Amino acid sequence: MADTKVYRASTTAPVNIAVVKYVEPLRPDERIRKGNQARESITNHHPSPSRYWGKRDAKLNLPTNSSLSVTLSQSDLRTLTTASCSSTYTGDDSLLLNGEPSDVSGARTQACFRELRARRAALESANAALPKLSTFPLKIVSENNFPTAAGLASSAAGFAALVQAIANLYELPDSPSELSLVARQGSGSACRSLFGGYVAWRMGEKEDGSDSKADLVAPASHWPGMRALILVVSASKKGVSSTSGMQQTVATSGLFQQRISTIVPANMALMEDAIKNRNFPQFAEVTMRDSNSFHATCADTYPPIFYMNDVSKAAIRAVEAINAQAGKTVAAYTFDAGPNCVVYYQEEDAATVLGAFAPILAAAEGWKDGSVVNASVKLDEGIAGTIKEGVSRVIMTGVGEGPLKTDEFLVAEDGTPVKR
């Protein structure tokens, strides 16, 4: 009798926010080409570290530098993904993302499917009793628990959940670190979302990328009091700082080589040390310096890339004011490829840090009950006004766990997507 069963497995996966940054460039085929970009540089002999960029290998998605991130709690930010397969499925592999069909023909997604199928196929070869899941079409359904409007990069959680869900479906014995090799090929930062807590992505040295993977620096339980307040900049304030259409890679930055050869290795060592010793002032300083350094190399590209805007800068000044008035470092800012500010702080300093932002952002969505505490820190009027005007939503969260297997399915037993 033919196997007509619908096989299913579900997982959730977290978002992570890097404190030592690697943000991968758009691939050439993903970049929108416009005006300036087409013109050739006149100064080709300009000292440009282009040989360091892109990735060491574009296909394997190897990074130019190691990075380190904090995994955020899935109570607040997570992707839930169900992977299913069946001999009864017809057509190609498919992905339904937040209720919309999503293209899986891209090189990144295809690389993940291919790698995972190969691992399943190896198991099937070794054990003839196993159903031949590797030969069945995949039907994947995925949902985020946070609105797209939040403007958070969800590709890390998305690819981590995709890879983990299929690994669960295929009953692969691979460790999170081994799966991170696969997730990396979908989205670089996704490899860090396969662990909870404090996670390093070691760039590795090997040509085949087999040592470019994530590993655990410390679990969430090592330093559970780490909190994050995300200031989501309203879309109307993003203005001209958002420049995806005209981006170059950081290859054109003459300062980039210095960052990857000297600054990042030093920051990685300092950051691991800070985490090991739960040394928040050191964690904070390295986080802020690394964010500054990363955005500096972006602004040094030609044409320049600006992810931060005046609202972001007001958030930086606010964090500086909080630390100055507290008389010690209780908060750290960091920015990914966008204007949103992530403020790391410790639970014990919640009153000080939240107390500075809550009064001016009382109208913003996202505050949790009891979080609007008395304000001991007073922000400058200009800074407060810019933040009030520019931030429409906050996300209160903290360090959290890695992917969690779940019995919540987004694909029904008959193979149809679950209506929610």
The residues that touch its own copies, with contacts defined as CB under 8 A, are 34-36, 39, 41-43, 45-47, 239-241, 243, 246, 253-255, 257-259, 262-263, 266-267, 270, 281-282, 285-286, 288-289, 292-293, 295-297, 299-304, 306, 309-310, 313-314, 316-317, 320-321, 323-325, 329, 380, 382-383, 386
Nearer to its own copies, 264 or 410 (CB): 264
Contact 178, 213 (CB under 8 A): yes
Place of tokens 């190896």: 122
Q: How far is CA 94 from the centre of its chain?
A: 23
Nearer to its own copies, 177 or 241 (CB): 241
- The Cα-based distances of 9 to 138, 160, 163, 167, 243 in angstroms read 11, 14, 11, 9, 39
Residue 219: asked if its preceding bond is cis (omega within 30°), the reply is no
Please state the closest distance from residue 19 (CB atom) to its own copies, in A. Answer: 13
Please state the closest distance from residue 38 (CB atom) to its own copies, in A. Answer: 8
Please state the closest distance from residue 269 (CB atom) to its own copies, in A. Answer: 9
Please state the closest distance from residue 277 (CB atom) to its own copies, in A. Answer: 12
Please state the closest distance from residue 301 (CB atom) to its own copies, in A. Answer: 7
Nearer to its own copies, 83 or 264 (CB): 264
Rg (CA), the chain: 22
- Both tokens of 251, joined, read 């290859």
Nearer to its own copies, 121 or 326 (CB): 326
Q: How many residues does the chain have?
A: 420
Which 3-state string (H, E, C) describes 265-334?
HHHHHHHHHHHHCCCHHHHHHHHHHHHHHHHHHHHCCCCCCCCCCHHHHHHHHHHHHHHHHHCCCCEEEE
Nearer to its own copies, 217 or 318 (CB): 318
Based on DSSP, count helices (H) and strands (E) in the chain, helices before strands. 10, 14
Nearer to its own copies, 99 or 382 (CB): 382
Q: Please give the backbone phi and psi of residue 169, each rounded to the nearest 5 degrees, phi first.
A: -60, -45
Please state the closest distance from residue 162 (CB atom) to its own copies, in A. Answer: 34
Please state the closest distance from residue 420 (CB atom) to its own copies, in A. Answer: 36
Cα atoms found within 13 Å of the Cα of residue 249, Cβ hemisphere only: 21
Nearer to its own copies, 215 or 310 (CB): 310
